[in-house]
Structures are given as C-alpha cells and as structure tokens.
Amino acid sequence: MPRSAYERSKGVETVTWREFPLGKGIALSVLDETTAAGRQARGQALLDVLDAAAGLPACKLTVADRPQRHRTRGGRLELKTYGYYRIAWEATPQRGTIRIYNLTAIRQQVLAPKVFLETLLHEWVHHYDFTGLQLDRSPHTSGFFNRIRDLAETLGVAYVTPPKRESPGSEASDDVVITGPDRLRPGGVPPPKWIRDQVLALFGRPRT
C-alpha cells in the first residue's frame, strides 16, 4: 500500500537538486528590500533560480502591499496569515503561485526582512512538495520544516528559519489552496449541500 502524503513528507528532510542553486546573492538581496515591488522582483528572481535548479515548473510570486489577513477576538489578534501557496491541479500539479502580505496585521508596518524571506522559503517548499515530490497535499510535518532549513542552509541564510512545531497528522496546511477539477483542499472538504441533498433524495437517509 502506498505511503500517505503525511508519511512521505515526514520522511524527506532535504531538497533534491538537479544542479546547485546559485541563489545566495539573490536571497541576501531580498533582505535589503522593504517595498512590495522590490520584494516581488527579487523574490521572483530567487524563485526562478530555485525552480530551475530543482527542475520544477515555474512559480509566480505576488507581494501584496496590504496588511496580513487576520482575525481578532475580544480586541486581540487571534490569527494572521503571512502568505499562502496556491496550486492548480489538472493531470499533474502546475501553475503554482505564492502570495505574501507586505504589511503586518494590526500595526500595518512593513514585514521584517527575515520574516519575509522565511515566508518565501516556506511557501516555495510547498511548491516543491507538490511539483517535485509529487505529493497530493503538503502537510506541516517535521520533514517539511527540515526541508525549509536545508533550503536555507543551501542558500547561506539558515538564520532566517526558526524551528517550528509539527502539525498533527490530520491537520491540513492552512496556507495551501488546491484548485482544479475533482480536487479537494488538503485534509478534504465536504461536498456542497446540494450534492448531499441529491444523494439523500436518491438513496434515503441511513438507518440508525
């Protein structure tokens, strides 16, 4: 029986390269940028190098000059989104895109350079999982975070990747969206209500 995406993700701790990615200078230059336009240009240059070196399809970066999506409760910040990865899935995964917010959620200050670069590397590893490892989802396992750290060490910027806790096996990555025919978001999403109603109309309610 094939191993699950979670098990495969946990078991791979490094990124496999077709050729060594000569992106250290670009990665360091990303740290010098603060504007959304500058970060998008240099970040895209880094993604292009990584995609070519790993033999992956292109991944497009958008840096939005707006505050992070967030949720508050009782006047306090409860949840915020640094960015997310979106993959269009047809016969094979393709057309990966990354979106990162350039301003912090509440104070609307420019995102710290190290945080921006770590977010960029984090989302690119999702791209690697789908298009390189050919996983059907990209959970936040210990292997996932080890791949980020390995990538950062390869680029000579390992100091931007703090250790992260592994998510439970059943928990989907909240910064990944899959689009395309007959695809579900990671972790699965129930079918629309109208489909459930049709099934019940055809077959009746299950016996209790």
Give the residue numbers spanning the domain of 23.
5-203
0.85 surpassed by pTM: no
| pLDDT for the residue 15 | 98
| pLDDT for the residue 171 | 58
Residue at 208 is within a domain:
no
C-beta separation of 110 from 75 below 8 A: no
Hey, is 156 helix, strand or coil? coil
Q: Pick out the chain residues at pLDDT < 50.
A: 1, 170, 182-192, 194-196, 199, 202-203, 206-208
Question: With 0-12 CB in 10 A as exposed, 13-18 as middle and 19+ as buried, what is 46?
Answer: buried
Q: What is the rounded distance in angstroms from the CA atom of residue 127 to the CA atom of residue 178?
A: 11
| pLDDT for the residue 29 | 97
Into how many domains does the chain fold? 1
Residue at 32 is within a domain:
yes
Residue at 11 is within a domain:
yes
Q: What is the rounded distance in angstroms from the CA atom of residue 96 to the CA atom of residue 85?
A: 7
Residue at 19 is within a domain:
yes
Hey, is 14 helix, strand or coil? coil
Residue at 165 is within a domain:
yes
| pLDDT for the residue 195 | 47
What phi-psi label fits residue 151: left (phi over 0), alpha (psi between -120 and 50 degrees) or beta? alpha
